[in-house]
Chain A
Amino acid sequence: MKNTVKNKSPQWMRTLLSNFLESRTLEASLGDLEEKFQGRLRNGLSPWKAKLLFIAEGLGFLRMTRLKSDASVQTTINMIRHTFLFFGRLVRKDWSYYLVSMLGLTLSLTSFIFIMMFIHDELSYDQFHDDKDRLFRLTTHLKLSDVEYNLATSQFPAASALKSEIPEVDLAVRVFPQEIEFALNDKKHRESIIMADEYFFDAFSFTWLAGDREEALRNPASVVLCERMSKKYFGSEDPVGKTLLVYDQPLTVTGVIEDVPKQSHLKFGAIIPLQYQLNAWKRETGLEGRENKWFWVGTYTYVRLRDATVLNDVEAKLPFLINKYFPDRYKQGGAFHLQPLSDIHLTSALSNEMEPPGNILYVRLFSVVGVVIMIVSAINLVNLSSFKISSRMREVGIRKFLGQDTIRIIMQLSTESMLIGLLAFAIAIILCNIFLTSFNNLVQKELNLFSFPNLLIGGITLVIILLISLMAVVRPAIRYAAKTSRTLLLQRSGDPTHAGERNILIGFQVCFSFVLLVFSFIVSSQIDYFKNKELGFDKENVMLIELSEDIYGHVEAFKSELAKSKKVIEVSIGVAPGSAHHGWRFVPEGGSEEKPFLFPLAWVDYNYLNTLKIKLLKGENFNPLDLKKDSLWSFLINKRAAMELGWADDPINRRMKVFAAGTTEIMAEGRIVGIIDDYHYESLHKPVKPVVLTLNDGFGTAMVRVADGSLQETIPFLKKTWTKFSEQPFTYELLDEQLDTLYANEVKLSNLILFFTVIALYLTCYGMFALSSLLFRSRLKEVTIRKVFGANQLNIITQFYSRYAAFTLAAIVTGVPVSFYVSNLWLQTFEYRIHIGSTFFFLAGGCVFIVGLLSVSYYLMLVAFSNPIKFLRSE
């Protein structure tokens, strides 16, 4: 019995075919299929194969499907065709209106998609780790001589202390970023890498391509490469087991991982076990390394908790660690905190971040801008289509008269509107593709339209636009479609009942573009302010040349060689302003070693002040001869440092001791030779901090001041001199450009805001323009009649203008407090900021006012200067 069931052809296939084929074909095809099926079974083919072939061949018959000729289907097809035909005619008849509204819709959709992509990218940082909810970063907060330090880093021994003292801590991993030169045969490159504890890959989920995840970081002399690094050094070969040279020592490649995702705050090309670095330090100093002390806040510590709910318990236990381990001078006001991994990119405001973080303020700002742009274009669409439909009243009337039912009319009108939406969306996607590279440059990201989340964004945008275009017509469509054809045909066109509502909507747009414009003015003048503010030194005409190691022995010769050119005015070697100045601990004479001062220290040569034109207030400049007596250092301190030390009046010749970094030992003692004026060696986001300069024969960066206007001509000379001393390639930067990069974030914001301001302004103008065209058309007759009765053109123009001017002004006035609030919010994040003067508001208000009136002027003039006879006759 079982056999017969097995040997039957699939019943569902037969049913399927019987639904689609007409009876004669059905009879023949089913017979033929069955015959072949039985034949195959007889030939010994296994039943399931025969069934499969039956199904495959059966599906082939579906192409013989005959559509049942059904009147309703035919009607639908006709109707769709009719809709397209009619739509085409409408567009041809009024193409300028459709072009302008399509352009507005397209622009707003494009910017909406861009904004959403940007926001999504910002919000998705560090979301790819499996344990992201349990991962935290240990942050350190110190208060030293009344200055608060909020640091993203923590001390080296903190990881093991956390692990042993707090049972809820599952894993504690240290990460120490570095730049290291890798070498393989003749390939030599500097790479930014991280050094990490063995358990790094247990905490963070990076995708493995080759190698053993568990064992990869166990041996100190190993390295795990990212895919692109592996390609760079080994090409397509399997790198696992091969060796790379790091400072002439071999490291075995133990694994390859996929490149780090763009949305990771940790970015690196390779990972080396931290133990490797610790061993190296031990070898070099021969001492117990400074990494075992609690002074140096030099590493990133990441913690995985047993689960996310114990966070509060763990936070409560952290002060215990402070008491037990922190050196005395850190204890007062010192604190540890656990920062969730996903907060790092957007909401962190800590020093020592690995990469410049994003800003939650910008994310919020752009979400608002994106939504408002969408709302504005929705308003325009609703406004215009309700007006457009009211001008098609007769058409609707005739349709009803000829027997089209209400539902069909509503469907017809909404299909038309959705077609516009769909078309705008398609163009927007094309525009997105074209401008994606420029947008990526603008925001310095690598967004891709056709990756998973962004496709979803596209999909959502499509749904939104379809909903908006539906919304725009449904209300007026229902209103008109429900009326009888008689009312529709006899009623005069024009529907002024909603004029007030429309004006408010347009006013909202004007207000929005005004706010954006003010904000963009303020952002760009704040950037100008940054770039032009007096810094306390002269940043113009200075070239920076990063010295390489082969020059260090011949620094004086190099300098005197450079000074041979007439164009070179001064040369100094030291730390350039704008680059990192590290803090050192100083003990002033009479002060306690328990309470040292933390001051940034810069090693510079005797020419530093002259080259950068920093003002010496008291005492004297460095004396080159002081270098010889290495027992006593010379210090120059700035005004701020003198104040903090309490020596503002008479600091000259006082002594200070310096601690060696990370230890409790005094490294040297020095004498203050002079006070210099405060200068901004950091970005203007922060107030001027104290600084100590000390004399050195010079290492770091060569700063070359050249004669005004001769930057370009001196480059070949510098290069020639450089090649006499070094085998490394010659590179240079300009000091003022280097300082400008400190404000890259603000420039980025300014560009984006400007871009959206232009779009918003366009949308507003187009809204006013299109609406004025429709309104004036409906008032043509009134104007002509007035003209016939002797009204002059000036009269008519002032009447129209005054109405527009009134509500534009009202909108602008409403925008003033809003824009003041937003700009102030942004400016508060800066230490040195511009004053929000009334000029900004007058300027932006003037712009919006004039642009708004200009956009209504075209139709106004058309009506005002028209020949009355022409229009009267048309009725």
Chain B
Amino acid sequence: MKGTNLGEFEELVLLVVAVLFDEAYGVSIQEELSSRCDRNATLSTIHVALHRLEEKGYLESRLDGATNERGGRRKLLFRVTKSGKRALASAKEMRNELWQSIPKSAFNLSV
């Protein structure tokens, strides 16, 4: 029903989830995004993106790891699925292809 292409922000979140591997949940993703990518996103923005990615089948989630710090709430931990991996790979491939097709003179001229 929904489109399966990746938005720019979604792609970032998906990559961060992959980077964090088994420790990917709201707060850690937010910190990672701000330290590595210089992107300040609110928690709800991230959760919306995660939810959408899960609907598209690129992420799977489980509830685990309640701590005192979290007021006894469990974390919603995410992991990239196989189709998520494929989507990332194809996005990367498409970019590479595009990069390679740029004529050399294009950037020289524009500078």
Contact = CB atoms under 8 A, between A and B. Distances in A.
Nearest to A31: B73
Interface in A738-763: none
B71 A29 contact: no
A27 B51 contact: no
B5 interface: no
A107 B27 CA distance: 61
Interface stretch (B7-15, B40-48, B86-94): B40-48
Interface stretch (A60-68, A577-585, A634-642): A60-68
B44 A27 contact: no
A29 to B, nearest CB: 6
A28 interface: yes
Contact of B44 (A35, A38, A63): A63
A34 B25 CA distance: 13
Contacts of A867: none
Nearest to A32: B26
Interface string A13-39: 000000000001101111111111011
B75 interface: yes
Contacts of A28: 25-26, 47, 63, 73-76
Contacts of B75: 28, 31-32
B89 to A, nearest CB: 28
B70 A35 contact: yes
Contacts of B76: 24-25, 27-28, 31
A28 B73 CA distance: 7
B69 A35 contact: yes
Interface residues of A, number: 20
A428 B67 CA distance: 63
B44 A60 contact: yes
B44 to A, nearest CB: 3
Nearest to A21: B47
A33 B43 CA distance: 8
Contacts of A25: 47, 51, 76
Contacts of A24: 61, 63, 76
A32 B43 contact: yes
Range, interface on chain B? 20 to 34
B44 A34 contact: no
A57 B74 CA distance: 19
Contacts, number: 71
A31 B44 contact: no
B43 A36 contact: yes
Given A35-B70, A57-B42, A27 B63 contact: yes
A35 B71 CA distance: 8
B42 A60 contact: yes
Interface in B58-111: 61, 63, 66-67, 69-71, 73-76
Interface in B15-64: 25-27, 30, 42-45, 47-48, 51, 61, 63
Nearest to B26: A32
A39 B45 CA distance: 19
Tell me which of A24, A27, A28, A60 has the highest count of chain B C-beta atoms within 10 A of its own C-beta.
Answer: A28
Contact of A35 (B27, B61, B63): B27
B27 A64 contact: no
Contacts of A32: 25-27, 43, 47, 70, 75
B43 A27 contact: no
Interface in A150-170: none
A27 B74 contact: yes
Nearest to B68: A38
Given A27-B73, A28-B75, A57 B47 contact: no
Interface string A532-546: 000000000000000
Contact of A34 (B45, B48, B70): B70
A31 B47 contact: no
A64 B48 contact: yes
A53 B73 CA distance: 19
A39 B27 CA distance: 10
A360 B74 CA distance: 76
B43 A61 contact: yes
A338 to B, nearest CB: 67
Given A27-B74, A38-B69, A64 B44 contact: yes
Contact of A31 (B45, B51, B61, B74): B74
Contacts of B51: 25, 64
A131 B27 CA distance: 63
A60 B43 contact: yes
Contacts of B69: 34-35, 38
Residue of B66, B71, B75, B76 with highest tally of chain A CB at under 10 A: B71
B47 A34 contact: no
B84 to A, nearest CB: 19
Nearest to A28: B76
A36 B30 CA distance: 10
A286 B9 CA distance: 90
Q: Which among B25, B73, B75 has the highest number of chain A CB atoms within 10 Å? A: B73
Nearest to A53: B42
Nearest to A66: B51
A27 B76 CA distance: 8
B71 A30 contact: yes
B47 A64 contact: yes
Nearest to B77: A28
A64 B45 CA distance: 10
A25 B43 CA distance: 12
Contacts of A64: 44, 47-48, 51
Interface string A42-63: 0000000000000001001101
B73 A57 contact: no
A63 B63 CA distance: 21
Contacts of A39: 27
Given A24-B63, A29-B26, A60 B45 contact: yes
A228 to B, nearest CB: 50
A9 B71 CA distance: 10
A594 to B, nearest CB: 94
A650 B28 CA distance: 117
Contacts of A29: 26, 43-44, 47
B47 A30 contact: no
B96 to A, nearest CB: 35
A29 B46 CA distance: 10
A36 B71 contact: no
Which residue among B30, B44, B63 has the maximum number of chain A CB atoms within 10 Å of its CB? B44
Contacts of B63: 24, 27-28
Contacts of A60: 42-45
A32 B45 CA distance: 13
Contacts of B30: 36
A25 B69 CA distance: 18
A39 B69 CA distance: 9
A612 B47 CA distance: 92
B31 to A, nearest CB: 9
B48 A63 contact: yes
A35 B69 CA distance: 6
Contacts of B73: 27-28, 30-31, 34
Nearest to A42: B69
Contacts of A36: 27, 30, 43
Nearest to A58: B44
Nearest to A29: B47
B81 to A, nearest CB: 17
Nearest to A23: B63
A64 B54 CA distance: 14
Nearest to B74: A27
B3 to A, nearest CB: 19
Contacts of B66: 31
A799 B19 CA distance: 93
A426 B74 CA distance: 53
Interface in A58-104: 60-61, 63-64
Given A32-B43, A32-B47, A57-B42, 4 more contacts: A31-B66, A32-B75, A34-B70, A61-B44
14 contacts: A9-B71, A27-B73, A28-B47, A28-B63, A31-B25, A31-B70, A31-B74, A32-B26, A32-B70, A32-B75, A34-B69, A36-B43, A39-B27, A57-B43
The 5 closest A-B pairs by CB, nearest first: A60-B44, A31-B73, A28-B76, A32-B26, A34-B71
